[in-house]
Chains A and B, each alone.
Chain A
Amino acid sequence: MTYLKPPDAAARLPRRGFLKKLGAIVGAAYATGAGGLSALGAELVRMPFAHGERRLARFPQKRPLLLLRSWPPLLETPMSVFDRGVFTPNDAFYVRWHLGHIPTDIDVPKFRLRIHGHVKKPVELTLDEIQREFKAVELAAVNQCSGNSRGFFEPRVPGGEWGNGAMGNALWTGVKLADLLNRAGIKTGAVQVRFNGMDSGNVAATPDFMKSLSVDHAMDGEVMAAYGMNRAALPFLNGFPLRLVVPGWYATYWVKMLNDIEVLDHPDDNFWMKSAYLIPDTPGANIKPGESAKMVPINRMEPRSFITNLTDGAAVRAGSSTEVRGIAFGGDTGLAKVMFSADAGKTWHPAHLDEDHGKYSFRRWSARFDPVNPGAYTLMSKAVNANGVAQPMQPNWNPGGFMRNVVESVRVRAA
Chain B
Amino acid sequence: MSRSTVASLVVVISAAVLLLHPMAQAATRSSTIVLKSEKITLPFGQLQFPGKGPGAAIANTHCAMCHSRGFIDTQPPLSHAAWKAEVQKMMSALGCPLKPDQTADLINFLYDYNHRPKQGAPGQ
Chain A contact residues, CB within 8 Å of chain B: 1, 3, 5-6, 8-9, 12-15, 18-19, 29-31, 33-37, 40, 42, 44, 49-51, 53-55, 57, 59-61, 67-74, 99-100, 102, 104-109, 127, 131, 136, 138, 151, 156-158, 161, 171, 173, 201-207, 227-228, 231-233, 236, 240-241, 271, 275-276
Contact = CB atoms under 8 A, between A and B. Distances in A.
B42 interface: yes
Contacts of B20: none
Contacts of A8: 44
B37 A71 contact: no
Contacts of B34: 233
B70 A69 contact: yes
B105 to A, nearest CB: 15
B114 to A, nearest CB: 8
A54 B122 contact: yes
Contacts of A1: 95, 97
Contacts of A240: 38
Interface of B: 23, 26-27, 29-31, 33-48, 57, 60-61, 64-68, 70-71, 73-78, 82, 86, 93-97, 119, 121-122, 124
Given A30-B41, A37-B45, A231 B66 contact: no
B39 A104 contact: yes
A13 B61 contact: yes
A102 B75 CA distance: 23
Contact of B44 (A36, A99, A206): A36
B82 to A, nearest CB: 6
A232 B33 contact: yes
Most buried by A among B31, B66, B96: B66
A275 B94 CA distance: 11
Nearest to A205: B95
Nearest to B36: A108
